[in-house]
Amino acid sequence: MENALGEVQTIVLFGGTSEIGRAIVDRLLTPATTTVVLAVRDPESVSIAGTSLERPGLTVDVVAFDAADTDTHQGLVDDLVARHGDLDVVIEAFGQLGDPHVLAADAAAAAALVHVNFTGSVSVATAVAAQFRRQGHGRLVVLSSVAGERVRKANYVYGSSKAGLDGFAQGLGDSLAGTGASVLVVRPGFVTSKMTAGLKPAPLSTTPEAVADATVKALRSGKRTVWAPAALRVVFSVFRHLPGSVWRRLKV
């Protein structure tokens, strides 16, 4: 549980190699933190040597996690609770971007991406939320994207998966009202990271560290949504109301 100063003891990161996710974890760490769980596809490939996670008194548990294998998600959450107790902050930071040209022509690839980004996230979040209700506290951080705020033709498969996730996360947060638990939806813009390597940065692009700063600030202030950078909230409030004929012509 969180201590009297609001410092978390147990943090779980689904997508344990995510640059944004790891940056959020780094900023949440305090001397009160006892456990960090990194849920990753290949535990053998993860090293904490030389990172902020390598310190006395901190247990780092690296566990196998396959976002596409939804049948295993409830069992994984149950196992983490059995071994580490209450989960204070859980971060969902996994997903695929994909190649828009491949996704437009390959039905199986499109379905697989949506399964990971949406179905996998729903599965994990549902298991986590049930645990939050039982323990009476907990905060779930869901990495959405501005791509889901109004889906662009340039990446409509990815964007639609994030649109679905964003809507689900908002509804889940509403359902947790009064339970002591909450959901924070994070909507980053273009983030310069391994995931976007080789792509041309969009206007108002940001970094994993900046997204993490905004996320932790929003967590501490009790917000339900956060845009990174904040200016994107204004930009997309305009985009959201553009006529379709205009939206389709924009190169954004």
Catalytic site positions: 158
- The DSSP call for residue 187 is E
Whole-angstrom distance, CA of residue 40 vs CA of residue 37: 9
Structural contact between residues 202 and 239, judged by C-beta atoms closer than 8 angstroms? no
Pinpoint the alpha helices (H) of the chain: 19-28, 73-84, 100-105, 107-114, 121-135, 156-175, 208-221, 231-239, 244-247
Task: Look at the block and give the residue holding tokens 């689904």.
Answer: 14
Whole-angstrom distance, CA of residue 157 vs CA of residue 249: 18
Structure tokens at 202: 């969009």
The residues facing 187 across adjacent strands are: 227
Parallel, antiparallel or unpaired: strands 35-40 and 59-64: parallel
Count the alpha carbons within 13 Å of 15 in the hemisphere toward its beta carbon: 26
- CB crowding 159-183: b at 16 or more within 10 Å, else e: bbbbbbbbebbbebbeebeeeebbb
Residues sharing a CB contact under 8 Å with residue 28, sequence separation 6 or more, in sequence order: 8, 11, 89, 216, 219
Whole-angstrom distance, CA of residue 93 vs CA of residue 73: 15
